[in-house]
Amino acid sequence: MQLRVTSLPGDGIGPEVIQQARRVLEQVAGGFGHTLELDEKEIGGAALTKFGHPLPDGTIQACLASQAVLLGAVGGPAFDHHPREIRPEAGLLRLRQALGAYANLRPAVFYPVLRESSPLREDVVRGTDILIVRELLGGLYFGQPRSIEGANGSREAVNTMRYGEAEIDRIARIGFALARKRRKKLVSVDKSNVLECSRLWREVVTRVGSEFPDVLLSHMYVDSAAMALVLKPTEFDVVLTENMFGDILSDQAGGVVGSLGLLASASIGGPVGLYEPVHGSAPDIAGRGIANPLGAILSVALMLRHTFQLPREAECVETAVMSALGGGLRTRDLARAGERTVTTEEIGWQIAEFVRQAAKTGGPSDRVSVSV
Ligand code: NAD
C-alpha cells in the first residue's frame, strides 16, 4: 500500500519526537511491505522564522496532497509577544481548518507498567481506558466576533461560542460510531444548565443517539465530568464534547493516567487526517535529547489505524511501545527518582527495532521483546 505522509516537526521538542516517530513509521512501511512517501515541511515558529508566516502555502499544499499529516508541536517563548494572527498556534488552528479535521480523538489509557506515574491510587485508576472525542473546528476557538477593544483601563474582550446543528450532528456520529467499536458507552459533556450552545448540543446528540440504540448514552455537565474523571475514571468509555471542554478534559485525562508525553491524538473527519502528540513544544527541555517520543509514536499508530486502515500495523506499534516500557525503558518524565533513564533517540531506536523484528514474524508476538 502507498502511504503518503507529510511531516511537520514544528518547534521545540517537535523535531526531536517526530524524528523517532518517522523512524518507527519507516520501519512499519519497510517491514510490512508498504511504500512510504514522506515529505517534510515547516509550521509554527519554524515557518515564521523561515517564511514570515506560521502556515506557508507550500505547507498547506503538501498536506492537502498527502493522506495524513504527522505533526510535532508549535510555539515557543520567542513568539509569545507576536499578535495572535502571526503566532505559531495560529498556524496550527488554520491547518486544522484547512484539513477539515473536525473530530479530535484523544485516547487516555492507564498502563499498569507505569502505575507509579499516575497521581491516583492504583485501585482507582487501574482499567482506565477513555476515548475523548472533541469537536475541533467550532465553539469559542473559532466563533466570531472576537476582539479586545476600548481604551486602556476600560478595555473589553469578546469571544463567541457558536455551534450549528450540522456541526454537532457530524461529531456526534463519529462519537457513536467509535463507541460502537468499544464498550458501547458514550457520555456527552455540556453545560446545558447555563449555555444555549450546550442546550442545542444535548438535543442534537440525543437525536443522533436514537439511531445508535446499542450505545448507552448519558449526559453530564462539564463540572461534574471533571470531578468524575478523577474519582471514577474507569466508568468512562467515550466522552463526546465541544472544543474547549474537550481541550481541558483531555489534558485532565492525561494527568489521570500519568504522563503528558504519552498522549497521542488524531484529528479526522476531513480528507486528510492530522496526527500529533497532545503535548506542546516543551521549550524547557528542547534540544536536550530527553523528550518522551511515545505520544508522537503512538500518534503513528493512530494514523495507521484511522487513515490507512492497517490495524495489524497499528497494533504492532502499540505493542512495541508497551514492550519498551515493560522492558524498563523510561525517559526522564516517566522515571522514578534514582531510576535509569534513556534518551529520546534510544527509546525510539528500541521501538523501531521491535517493529522490525515483529514485522519479520508477521506482526506483534510475545516472542519479540525489547530489554534495557
Ligand atoms: P508543554 O506540553 O509544552 O509542556 C508542559 C510540561 O510538560 C513541561 O514541563 C514539559 O517539559 C513537559 N513535557 C511536555 N511534553 C513532554 C514530552 N514529550 N516529554 C517530556 N516532558 C514533556 O506545554 P506548555 O509548557 O504549556 O507550552 C509550551 C509551548 O507549547 C507554548 O508555546 C504553547 O503554546 C505550545 N503548545 C503547543 C501545542 C501544540 O503544538 N499542539 C499544545 C500545547 C502547547
pLDDT in 10s for each residue of the chain, 372 residues:
999 999 999 999 999 999 999 999 999 999 999 999 999 999 999 999 999 999 999 999 999 999 999 999 999 999 988 888 889 999 999 999 999 999 999 999 998 888 888 889 999 999 999 999 999 999 999 999 999 999 999 999 999 999 999 999 999 999 999 999 999 999 999 999 999 999 999 999 999 999 999 999 999 999 999 999 999 999 999 999 999 999 999 989 988 987 778 899 999 999 999 999 999 999 999 999 999 999 999 999 999 999 999 999 999 999 999 999 999 999 998 888 888 999 999 999 999 999 999 998 866 554 444 333
Active-site residue flag, 190: no
CA torsion, points 97, 101, 102, 105, in degrees to nearest 10?
-140
- Specify whether the CB–CB gap between 372 and 324 falls below 8 A: no
At 247, the amino acid letter reads D
Q: Within 10 A of 362 (CB to CB), how many other CB atoms are there?
A: 11
The residue ranges of DSSP E strands in the chain, in sequence order, are: 2-10, 35-40, 68-73, 103-109, 129-135, 147-149, 156-158, 185-190, 216-221, 238-241, 264-268, 273-277
Active-site residue flag, 251: yes
Q: Which atom of ligand 1 is nearest to the CA of 71?
A: 40
Q: Within 10 A of 287 (CB to CB), how many other CB atoms are there?
A: 11
Q: CA-to-CA distance for 223 and 227, rounded, in angstroms?
A: 7
Ligand 1 binding pocket mutation candidate from 262, 263, 281, 285 (most atoms within 8 A of CB): 281
Cell of 317: 506499534
Q: 356 CA distance to ligand 1 centroid (A)?
A: 30
Q: Are domains 1-102+260-372 and 118-257 of this chain identical in fold?
A: yes
Pair type for strands 103-109 and 264-268:
antiparallel
pLDDT score recorded for residue 371? 33
Active-site entry in 141, 184, 185, 221: 141
CA torsion, points 279, 284, 289, 294, in degrees to nearest 10?
-20
Distance, C-alpha 124 to centroid of its chain: 24
Strand, coil or helix: 109: strand
Q: Locate the domains of the chain by residue range.
A: 1-102+260-372, 118-257
Q: Is domain 1-102+260-372 given the CATH code 3.40.718.10 in the classification? A: yes
Question: 292 CB under 6 A from ligand 1?
Answer: yes
The count of residues in the chain is 372
pLDDT score recorded for residue 363? 61
Cell of 100: 477539515
Question: 39 CB under 6 A from ligand 1?
Answer: no
Question: 260 CB under 6 A from ligand 1?
Answer: yes
Active-site residue flag, 333: no
Angle at 98 between CA 303 and CA 41, to 5 degrees: 65
Q: 89 CA distance to ligand 1 centroid (A)?
A: 12
Residue 108, φ and ψ in degrees, nearest 5: -135, 110
Whole-number Cα distances in Å, 27 to 5, 31, 36: 14, 6, 10
Beta bridge partners of 108: 130
Q: CA-to-CA distance for 281 and 1, rounded, in angstroms?
A: 32
> What class is the 118-257 domain?
alpha beta
Q: 282 CA distance to ligand 1 centroid (A)?
A: 4
Query: Which residue's C-alpha comes closest to atom 33 of ligand 1?
Result: 75
Question: 333 CB under 6 A from ligand 1?
Answer: yes
Q: Which atom of ligand 1 is nearest to the CA of 72?
A: 40
